[in-house]
Amino acid sequence: MKYKVVDKSQAKEIAKLAVCLTNEIIERTGIKHFDVDVPLAVSLCEGYVSSGLYNVIAAFDKNKIVGFGALCESRSLYAEGTFGIVQEFYVMPNYRSQNVGKELIKEIVNFAKSENWKKLELCTPPLPEFDRTVAFYQVNGFEITGGHKMKFTIV
């Protein structure tokens, strides 16, 4: 398995995996939290990666992307500077429990260090359907900080 930062040329593969992640969340919760639009996801991913607003580290099995973590930089007073947000993290089901996710987290942490980020944050639903996901992140060094993910849709 190889891990590396991807460029715009792999945006379509990343976007398709992000759609798989979205669909998995919808399936697990039974609630359509997101609209799934593959062409839009591809277009956004290409633009974000090209502009440097979105850094994607992917896991490759030969030449096939089997997992990825997408990162954005943010700033806050509580974090005392810049930090990274793991916006999406996904490993294909047949590659789970094979240390792909664990190694991907290590690569994400190394990337964060190279950017001089103070910390990494991510969000996962605090629902029983995601207990294994939460446990995975905890085993890999993340801690629960409380709160709820909330959104306000601007129309």
Query: For 42-85, what is each residue's pLDDT tens digit?
Result: 899 999 999 988 999 999 999 999 999 999 999 999 888 999 99
**What is the rounded CA–CA span in Å between residue 126 and residue 123?**
9
User: Is residue 146 domain-resident?
Assistant: no
Residue 93's domain spans which residues? 2-139
What residues pair up with 83 in beta bridges, in sequence order? 74
Mean pLDDT of 86-104: 96
Is 14 within 8 Å of 68 (Cβ atoms)? yes
Q: Which residue has the tokens 């916006």?
A: 87
Write the pLDDT tens digit of every residue in 7-24.
Answer: 999 999 999 999 999 888
**Residue 64 pLDDT:** 95
**What is the rounded CA–CA span in Å between residue 98 and residue 153?**
37
Q: What is the CA radius of gyration of the chain?
A: 15
Residue by residue, DSSP assigns 60-76 as EETTEEEEEEEEEEEEE
**Residue 7 pLDDT:** 92
Q: Which residue has the tokens 């995975």?
A: 136
pTM: 0.90
Q: How many domains does the chain have?
A: 1
What is the CATH classification number for the domain harbouring 74? Answer: 3.40.630.30
User: Is residue 153 domain-resident?
Assistant: no
